[in-house]
Structure 1
């Protein structure tokens, strides 16, 4: 069965599911705490193990997604900068808008939904979608993981899910077999230590771009990933991209801390 999902911000998404699957399966494709407005009845459809898609909807139905009252409000943290401009996605001025690092405004709810929309489309990075001119050129500024998760007010569980999705998308782009996450965590967190220019550092690191496991066998901190098609250059100590690290860094972050 084919469905067109229409979200509160008017964005649409088309999915296909078997008619003998439960409605609960359909709800797994949606943000937590959402319901579906029935296309022919004045009711909202919630997940139920006995409710089958084929007995609830028709093929080709357009389904309006409804956020529950307690989940529709995703509040902006008080310590973050706000903007008086309208939200770049919902065009709303009713809720507080975050002022993103690039200077453009967005509500935490719209930011959360936009991030998931991008990741569901296979993206591995979240960039600003603000439309600059009539030619539909966008800002396209890259938002860091810390920035968009903080401005969307994501909790620890949501951050973990987002990071897992980014990891999966990167594996698909580089045509690598998706490894068992627990195995990767074990390899990285149980790594032996080595000393790089006087600072203790794990002997094993994962390439920040393709997540290939790399061991430091000697030489300087600058590392080039040897996986075919990658070649990403980064600092083995602080994990920053090569051009962004002064190589005077002293921080040694733990990889996959959220997983």
Structure 2
């Protein structure tokens, strides 16, 4: 007897082009990646490092949409961009002779490396300065503030220095490479824009979006409308996908603030989708709890529903889940129609 085995499809090698943020042609390459062997960012950096002539700690891969850096432990994304943008770090971060200070490092008291003196008089190792500033930028900072704790304060209250450092000072004293300087500028701009009330970040592609009318919570991302039209609209309030294509005021997510109000609740009950639950067809996917009237959405499971108020009821016939009402061994006489909520 002959047995035919299905051969598993082999992944084709992927060609990735690399570019630095600064456009340094020295690191522009077209590199072939074997996707069957490369599964993480760490493994990808090993391959790129050999081709670029760089150690893995000398460069990082940029998430352009987020203006962040990939972590080495992350899995290799399926939609890895090409060209792939990287930043090259300096081989070492030295301290200019006239800036060397005996002051302790404000981050680590036990640092033996040379510390550079900041404009506020505090000292820090350049590598620590880079890490400090980049971590603050990742958390949304729009300026660089000295975190050093003042040693002499009245009644022992310890307060941070709080001196503001300019990007120019950080560039010089952290010995930022050209790529790092560009990355810092990009992140500062993104953080500044995000603090504006008129701007939101698309939850799908992370691009910045604005709404034409401040009373309209339904926003269409211009970038997603080209790349993924079926998933391009989101709610300004809850930042989830806009579910109801016909609704103008409610996005379809019950946890959203746009779902409040009796009239809105009635509209949700009237327009919600229908589904099959325990072989009962055309059951409204949203019900109002018979006890507290809160809206409850059925996601999965049987017809038994427990509201946040702890009241239990049947999602099909909307009777209480008791021996006198509905239960596991009782057949619903009919599917309850859309409920009517009162003021």
Tell me, yes or no, whether TM beats 0.5.
no
Larger radius of gyration: 2
Q: Report the TM-score range of the alignment, normalised by the length of the smaller protein.
A: 0.3 to 0.5
Q: Which has the higher contact order (CA 8 A, sep 6+)?
A: 1
> TM-score, normalising length from structure 1?
0.42
